[in-house]
Amino acid sequence: MPPVSFGAYGTGAQVRVGISLVPPRQSRWSILFRVLLMLPLGVVFVVVAFAAAVVTFVAWFCALFVGRVPDGQQHFLSNALRVYGNILSYGYLLSSRWPGLTFNAKPGDQVSIDIDHVGLRRWSVFFRLVLGFPASLVGVALNFGVYPLLLVAWVWGVVAGREPRSIHQALALVLRYQLRLQAYSTLLTPTQPFLGFLGDGNEVPLNGSEVAGATPSSTGTGASSVDPVTVERPSVAPAAASLSTRWFVTKAAKVLVVLVLGAGALLYFLAPSFENPLIVRLQDSLSRGTVTASHTAAVNAMRRFETASNNCRGVYAPECEQRAATRANARLSTQSSLLRTNNVFVPSGALTSVTNYESAMDSLENELFAVQASSSLSSQLLIVKNEIPTTLARLNRDYRVVEARLGA
């Protein structure tokens, strides 16, 4: 780990991601069953992500007081980011070799990550969630929009044994943005992830063919030499240390990234309109059981209240009505709380009906509270004989509507 440099924070700190921009030749069977091959990697990813979240929380406090992430935490979070990059690269079909389950870096890693370890401004650490919100929105849009492109890459890979060059580079750009966003979110860098969103320059044809790493156009900065071995044998993954961190990509790849971003933003806003039928059926079942139990308990509570109220006679009738209303109100409040707690299971198509039912129960509770708070028998009887029956009829009517909405 390089020593911390307090004078380098700002836009000078970089997250350099290395990956081959030439689509590797892959086994069609490994592409066909890539989702199954990703399952154990998904378990590793979840474990590492949880540990990284805990370490990030501790690192936030450290950086807030001392203006930097301690070396041990920086090293752990950098390794976690490397694991994330290699797993995601394999899932995106960017790499041909299964990345394995090891946590430490290996010479054969197909994604390399190099992070400048610099000091952090305390105010930017404190407001990191706010400052990172725009970048997170872009990351969410990319996560949504990348799936159609992945589907095309998967079908193409099953048929041809590799991704098309432009799609490969577009997915690589999405991966780099996600890694840089993750690095910014975990305090590994003070630099926002937007730099190099569309690459570091244009890839130019060489001898009539596009070659990764060719000298960029005047819009790019710097130059890199062509590796003839990589061009002739793209299936051979270079060592992590030799992977180029200056990305010169095709114009088609840039267009695809923009399309992915636009499609992702559109899918993000349209996603709530599409519901999985199996999930909706499960939600219907859970909601129906909750509402039915709530209504049964409410009706039984009101029957007990009616019986107790009819037995109130004599001088102590107002106190008797108050006690009966108190007991009924407590039972209704319990059911109302359970109903609201389980509102998360209510499908969107029945949410309005359930809300109306809850509103009727609230009105019933308020009327019982009015009986409980009143010491006048005439006022109590006016509520008990007129208002409560009307509200109870409304509660039953709204319950039947909820039943119909939930497919009972």
Select the more confidently predicted residue: 314 or 181.
181
How much is the mean pLDDT over the chain? 80
Do residue 254 and residue 284 come from a single domain?
no
| Calpha distance 286→282 (Å, rounded) | 6
**Amino acid 107: pLDDT:** 73
Indicate the helix (H) or strand (E) that contains 114.
strand 112-115
Based on the fold, state whether residues 57 and 169 are members of the same structural domain: yes
Residues 151 and 288 in one domain: no
Q: Are residues 262 and 337 in the same domain?
A: no
359: CATH: 1.20.120
Distance between CA atoms of residues 305 and 296, nearest Å:
14
Can you tell me the mean pLDDT for 260-278?
72
One domain, residues 297 and 391: yes
Residue 202 located in a structural domain? yes
Task: Give me the number of domains the chain comprises.
Answer: 2
Task: Confirm whether 166 is domain-assigned.
Answer: yes
By three-state DSSP, how is residue 309 classified?
A: helix
Pairwise CA distance, residues 52 & 58, whole Å: 10
Q: Which candidate, 208, 222, 200, 143, places its Cα nearest to that of 19?
A: 200
Q: Is residue 222 part of a domain?
A: no
pLDDT at 242: 65
Give the residue from 287, 286, 298 showing the smallest Cα distance to 394. Answer: 298
State both tokens at 45: 């990813």
Q: How confident is the model at residue 237 (pLDDT cuts 50, 70, 90)?
A: very low
Domain span holding position 162: 15-208+242-273
Residue 9 lies in a domain: no
pLDDT-above-70 percentage for the chain: 83
- Do 129 and 251 lie in one domain? The reply is yes
Same domain, 286 and 263: no
pTM comes to: 0.61
pLDDT band at 67 (very low <50, low <70, confident <90, very high): confident
Do 177 and 304 reside in the same domain of the chain?
A: no
Q: In this structure, is residue 110 part of a structural domain?
A: yes
Are 136 and 198 in a shared domain?
yes
Q: Are residues 290 and 145 in the same domain?
A: no
State the average pLDDT over residues 90-103.
84
Q: Do 248 and 305 fall into the same domain?
A: no
Q: Do residues 368 and 332 lie in contact, with contact meaning Cβ atoms separated by under 8 Å?
A: yes
In-domain check, residue 156: yes
Distance CA 208, CA 259 (A): 27
Does residue 219 surpass a pLDDT of 90? no
Q: Report the candidate in 77, 107, 72, 102 with the shortest Cα–Cα distance to residue 87.
A: 102
Summarised one tens digit per residue, pLDDT across range 101-157 is 777 777 777 888 888 888 888 888 899 988 989 999 999 899 888 988 999 999 998
Work out the average pLDDT over 207-218: 40
Contact 360, 394 (CB under 8 A): yes
253 and 382 share one domain = no
pLDDT at 256: 92
Query: Under a CB-based contact definition with an 8 Å cutoff, are residues 41 and 101 in contact?
Result: yes
Read out DSSP for 195-212? TTTT-SSB--EETTEE-T
Last residue of a domain, one of 230, 258, 273: 273
pLDDT exceeds 70 at position 218 = no
pLDDT of residue 170: 92
User: Of 273, 291, 312, which one is at a domain's C-terminal end?
Assistant: 273
Answer whether residue 223 is part of any domain: no
Q: Tell me how far apart the alpha carbons of residues 136 and 145 are, in angstroms, rounded to a whole number.
A: 14
Last residue of a domain, one of 222, 252, 273: 273
Q: What is the pLDDT of residues 301-358, one digit of tens each?
A: 899 999 998 888 888 888 998 999 899 888 888 888 777 776 656 777 778 888 888 8
pLDDT tens for 12-26 read 577 888 888 888 888
Please check whether residue 185 lies inside any domain of the structure.
yes
- Read out DSSP for 320-331? HHHHHHHHHHHH
